[in-house]
Structure 1
């Protein structure tokens, strides 16, 4: 006899829930990324074409990973329900689907660069749990002649299903508790204040026009842009963290968190920009970073002739490659940063330590949760984004953006104040101009410059009659280069073009 359709579908869905919960529980004991659900999600991110990733970042911003996980969950539920429906007469179709799910989880975990062989236990347990629960539910739900009149099979199914739900909930909560037992937040709180021996110059008055619509000069930590490939924020305690420096060096070195913190710390004011920042985009922010000179660590190791790339690896296996000359350039001021805006790095911004190298897009200069630095060549090692068609050197391009008014705003006719921000890290912004309706360019008033590695705010006053108007802006850096009008996307080395908005005057 066949199972009822809703019962068969529920068998598949509950088996999925049990499988994922069991895998998450075991992953909590080993490493959270060993959870099959997260491993498959991370694998999906790695395999997603660059264009689709750019679309996700543009469309969903920092919620792109949440959208991915929700989409995966929906697909898994639908497929599991269909597998259950295909098993109304026999358990085997669903068992085959569950096995395929398990194999995908095992492959995803095995492919993770940050996981060892022990992590394979999580997807293996997930597979066993899913198959066992599916078979048990299917047997409990199968009608029996002796119980047809009493409804015993229905009660057995509901009882078994309730047990699966409770057990899955306990396993999921237990896995989450185990994953959080390392308690990186408590470790961060215990670090205490980071006091630099060399503080950054005080931010003078007049460095922003926040009252006119620009951002504040320093970006508060919760508002600092975040773009990374991590589905879950790595939880690394300071006491467990270490940094290895090796490769084409005279002496391999390893440092603990305390080794770094005990050194004289330096504070620098730096504007960072993501290569995924579209023209007019928000992925640019400024902070006071506290840490040590990256050049000190490299010189202690002794960089050998012929070295071209500093290949950095995060605790979650993500990699980036920085040109060695930029990493060694003391004038540029690359840092191994421990702090941000007067406090230890937030977890989502790389605690315990990250790289910050001014003037280069983040995908080659800003590895968060960094744990390994290998001095090597471009040919020997290929970093995460380099393998996906992005540029090698990645200097940040001179850009500007309009922050006020917002596109399609309605304002009173007459005098209108336009304001925004410009950046040309490691070169410096010399000039910003605006124009209305393709008319002549006029100079904007610039805020005070803090240093060449930070953004500058600007504003300009224009007079417009009633009607719809377009305003564009462009910046010129201290080398004399004026940003191009040519509009190109972010791939392979950053977007270009003038930011233009439309507004209506009444």
Structure 2
């Protein structure tokens, strides 16, 4: 067999295997797709330093980069298997079986799939082996192209059909059917002067499309509100199950909350603010009757992610949220329901697609990130960043330095700015919306021509000023003063 045909044989067998697995997964649960299952397994075993590198380097595109990287690696393996099998299909068949075994292990260890999920990697392995051996036989006829063309067409068709059927769950239709969410208690109106958009800060309320998303879900869970339920159990007197309609029929409250990701480097972008509608976590837990000795609320997502929140804190703070910015939660931000807890980093509190609340202890259960080196309790640290000017930007001598500060749930008392290591100057603060939200700031400066470096620091309402020591996000959030070097023309 010619090398080009050998390589193409391996690639087409790979495409057929992935397409068959994806097609079967459309009917047994999309997470059972071997390609996605292996990707999710890789995310689960990724060490903290590599996860931090991915988020820092690729931001919210980290999952796309992972999928593309996997595709490149698999394509290389497929080409190698084809070239190693020019005279004998045995080596390539063995590679297919070994990859299928990896897919089986990845699927059976997923917490969010049922028993039938095993059918997807089995189908993938069978299709890959059959196609490889069939094309190997066809390739012996140097004039034959029919088998290659038919196989390529069937594989692509199977993959497309699998994607279409896998997305058949009408999540958007379910969202639209929810209709208006009218809270009994509304959040206060955002006052004029809460942000300085004209000077370069974000708008005070972050739109759904701009709201940061950092989570472990390789594919967004697709859950209809009509089929969703939240189980509350563990160390409680009265275990309960709440449906979406039962939550909606309760007294809904709206709160303006800033959510912050622990992966944020100093000056990082992973912070957003929204108006969330839901019911108070504390009301539900008190209704269930928390038993003495419990100290953790252990939440689980539909995709198997877990987080542990300090029980005493969430009894007084936080929502089981079903709405955001005047509409049902977007699918990528947790529809039908998620947890929103001001004052705690998201990895211990902000579980999206939440389906289970277990009242337990920190000694008994550990959330997803704790064994991976992150702190058990993670209160948000007072921080600030400079939004304008940007690094290396050229600005006029008379300019405005503007930025954002946060210190949930204590609130921001002041922000100070200094230029080139000089004296600290207190910045003008935006309107104070609440202690659970960020606060914008600005300072007018007139500077001489040349290069300058500006730094900022925030002080919360308890009098605590953000730490100058530059520390990485692991294990409980980054610290340090954000600085930007720019040029005055």
What TM-score results when the alignment is normalised by the length of structure 1? 0.96
**Pair 1:58 & 2:46 matched:** no
CA distance, structure 2, for counterparts of residue 335 and residue 468 of structure 1: 46
Q: Which residue of 2 aligns with 1:383?
A: 367
Q: Which residue of 2 aligns with 1:478?
A: 461
Q: Which residue of 1 aligns with 2:431?
A: 448
Matched residue count:
489
Equivalent of residue 250 in structure 2, options 259, 263, 273 = 263
Q: Which residue of 1 aligns with 2:142?
A: 154
1:117, distance to aligned residue in structure 2 (A): 2.1
User: Secondary structure at the residue paired with 2:142?
Assistant: helix
**Pair 1:300 & 2:284 matched:** no
User: Secondary structure at the residue paired with 1:222?
Assistant: coil
CA distance, structure 2, for counterparts of residue 185 and residue 281 of structure 1: 31
CA distance, structure 1, for counterparts of residue 143 and residue 115 of structure 2: 42
Greater gyration radius:
1
CA distance, structure 1, for counterparts of residue 25 and residue 116 of structure 2: 10
1:155, distance to aligned residue in structure 2 (A): 4.1
CA distance, structure 2, for counterparts of residue 221 and residue 84 of structure 1: 46
Q: Which residue of 2 aligns with 1:150?
A: none
Equivalent of residue 346 in structure 1, options 324, 327, 330 = 330
Q: Which residue of 1 aligns with 2:227?
A: 240
Gaps spanning 5+ residues in structure 2: where?
Answer: none
CA distance, structure 1, for counterparts of residue 392 and residue 377 of structure 2: 37
CA distance, structure 2, for counterparts of residue 197 and residue 448 of structure 1: 25
Q: Which residue of 1 aligns with 2:276?
A: 289
CA distance, structure 2, for counterparts of residue 98 and residue 40 of structure 1: 15
Q: Which residue of 2 aligns with 1:68?
A: 66
**Pair 1:133 & 2:131 matched:** yes
Larger displacement relative to structure 2 (419-428 or 115-124): 115-124
1:154, distance to aligned residue in structure 2 (A): 3.2
Equivalent of residue 251 in structure 1, options 235, 238, 243 = 238
Matched-pair contact (CA < 8 Å) for 2:28–2:114? no
Q: Which runs of 4+ in 1 moved over 2 A?
A: none
Equivalent of residue 399 in structure 2, options 401, 416, 429 = 416
CA distance, structure 1, for counterparts of residue 352 and residue 211 of structure 2: 14
Any residues of structure 2 matched to 1:34-45 within 5 Å, and which? 34-45=32-43
Q: Which residue of 2 aligns with 1:407?
A: 391
What TM-score results when the alignment is normalised by the length of structure 2? 0.99
CA distance, structure 2, for counterparts of residue 367 and residue 306 of structure 1: 23
1:403, distance to aligned residue in structure 2 (A): 0.5
CA distance, structure 1, for counterparts of residue 160 and residue 173 of structure 2: 20
**Pair 1:434 & 2:417 matched:** yes
User: Secondary structure at the residue paired with 2:168?
Assistant: helix
**Pair 1:273 & 2:260 matched:** yes
Q: Which residue of 2 aligns with 1:368?
A: 352
1:176, distance to aligned residue in structure 2 (A): 1.1
Larger displacement relative to structure 2 (494-503 or 208-217): 208-217
CA distance, structure 2, for counterparts of residue 21 and residue 353 of structure 1: 32
Matched-pair contact (CA < 8 Å) for 2:231–2:240? yes
Equivalent of residue 87 in structure 2, options 73, 86, 89 = 89
